[in-house]
Amino acid sequence: MKNDLFPLVSKHVKLKTHIGDSLFIGRCPFHDDKNPSLVVNKKYQLYICFGCGASGDVVTFSDMINKKKERKDGRIRKKNKD
Ligand SMILES: [Zn+2]
């Protein structure tokens, strides 16, 4: 099984090269990020956000993205019901 963090994060965040070719930085999808504070380490398949403290690996990231999506869907459903 190929657990690739980088392509997954790239789907949600526009990543820019930060340092060298293994560290990338982008705007965190987990909080209202005005300045890019999400750092992704392509080599070690880890991410950390210096804004909200979110961190982990590909499993944590997809988990957090799914939860965020669920919350969003929940809000939309609630809105339509009112
Ligand atoms: Zn964040």
- Host domain of residue 9: 5-81
Alpha carbon of 59 to ligand 1 centroid (Å)? 16
Alpha carbon of 48 to ligand 1 centroid (Å)? 8
Alpha carbon of 25 to ligand 1 centroid (Å)? 12
- CATH code at 54? 3.90.580.10
pLDDT of residue 2: 61
Q: Are the C-beta atoms of 5 and 42 separated by less than 8 Å?
A: yes
Alpha carbon of 30 to ligand 1 centroid (Å)? 5
The count of structural domains within the chain is: 1
Phi then psi for 81, rounded to 5 degrees? -75, -30
Q: From first to last of its 82 residues, what are the pLDDT tens digits of the chain?
A: 466 999 999 999 999 988 888 999 999 999 999 999 999 999 999 999 999 999 999 999 999 999 998 988 888 777 776 6
Alpha carbon of 31 to ligand 1 centroid (Å)? 5
Q: Are the C-beta atoms of 23 and 40 separated by less than 8 Å?
A: yes
End-to-end CA distance of the chain: give it in Å, rounded.
44
User: Is the model's pTM score more than 0.75?
Assistant: yes
pLDDT of residue 82: 64
